[in-house]
Every structure is written in C-alpha cells, then in structure tokens.
Amino acid sequence: MLRRYVPDESHVLQYDAVELDDRLTFVEEPVAILARDVRRLCSRAIPVVKVRWRHRPVEEATWETEHEMRVRALVASVDRAWSRLIRRR
C-alpha cells in the first residue's frame, strides 16, 4: 500500500556543492584511501584500495583497483598543471 510522503529537509540536495561538467555529468573525486588489499584470481594478484569519495559518507566507500586510482590521479594532476599554465598566459 502506498503512503503519503512526509517532507524531510535531509532529502534536499545542496546545488552549490555539486559541480557539473559541460555534459551536465557529475564527476566523483576520491578524497582518501581507507584500506589496501590484494585480491587473488587464479594465478594473478590484483592490488585494490578502499576509496572514500567526495560528497559521500564513509559507509559508501568502494573498492577500486590500484591501477585505476593511479590513472585517475595522473589525469587529475595533468589537468591541474594544464589549467595553471593557461591561467598564466
């Protein structure tokens, strides 16, 4: 059976905290690495890290491959360096 919705202020999103790119998509940014582990698949060992994301509580941290997080960090550092170079001109 359906029930009437009871308004709650905790359900309201803060628009100023959300940054959208040109395609109106939201890019999650890693904030901290909470744990490290190695997952074993047959004869392979895959290093993984537990990542806390910006604008998300600690309970919603996810396991990601270490390689993927290194690639994200490299892309982010190149983007920051490029934007600093453009601002100087």
pLDDT digits (tens, 9 = 90+) for 48-83: 999 998 888 899 999 999 999 888 887 877 777 777
Per-residue pLDDT at 65: 92
pTM of the model: 0.61
Buried-exposed string 41-78: b where 16+ CB fall within 10 A, e elsewhere: eeeeeeebbebbbeeeeeeebeebeeeebeebeeeeee
Q: State the fold for domain 27-88.
A: OB fold (Dihydrolipoamide Acetyltransferase, E2P) (2.40.50)
Per-residue pLDDT at 48: 93
User: Would you kindly state where each structural domain of the chain is located, as residue ranges?
Assistant: 27-88
pLDDT per residue as tens digits for the range 33-53: 899 999 999 999 999 999 998
Tell me which residue of 64, 74, 63, 61 sits closest to 31, measured CA to CA: 61
